[in-house]
Amino acid sequence: MRPHILLAALPLAWPAVAPAQQQADPVAYIRAIYREYSKTEPKPWSDWPYTVRMRKLIVDDAKNTPEGEVGRLDWDPIINAQAWKLSALKVVLISRDGDRATVDASFHNLNANKHMRFTLERADGKWEIDDIAALDKPRWTVSKVLAGAPDAFPDSPAK
């Protein structure tokens, strides 16, 4: 069963961006993703365009999760939480080399500041998410969490 999600409005301080511009600009693309959280029912995190590598990890996790269970990710990795009321969004291009880009998003969610990093790749002229990482503690990387890697949560004490 999915955890209960508190729905809250996201103040929209960002200008609307045409879909073509979103695909040309990785920063506009990430802003468009966060705009979804102003909706009553935003697009699920797993429904965004992902690279083939990431999509395989997401599908494999779903296949290996027993009916009625949540899977390896029991939170929304885009907002690094289960509930949201986002404000103060800042999206910054960290690097871009051809069809690869790294974009950071920082924002305030409920009572916490969040800092996320998106690794993007462009395929067929469209940006796709290749990975998401939390840069604030506790740190994690989606691809490592989905793969069950021992270093998925580097701040956790060794077992």
Average pLDDT, the chain: 85
- Cα–Cα dist 60/45, whole Å: 16
Domain-by-domain residue ranges, the chain?
Answer: 19-147
Q: Give me the pLDDT at residue 11, please.
A: 34
Q: Give me the pLDDT at residue 158, please.
A: 60
Query: Is residue 35 predicted with pLDDT exceeding 80?
Result: yes
Q: Tens digits of per-residue pLDDT, 103-145?
A: 999 999 998 999 999 999 999 999 999 999 999 999 999 999 9
Closest by CA position to 37, among listed 76, 73, 93: 76
What CATH architecture applies to the domain 19-147? Roll (3.10)
Q: Phi and psi dihedrals of 87, rounded to 5? A: -155, 170
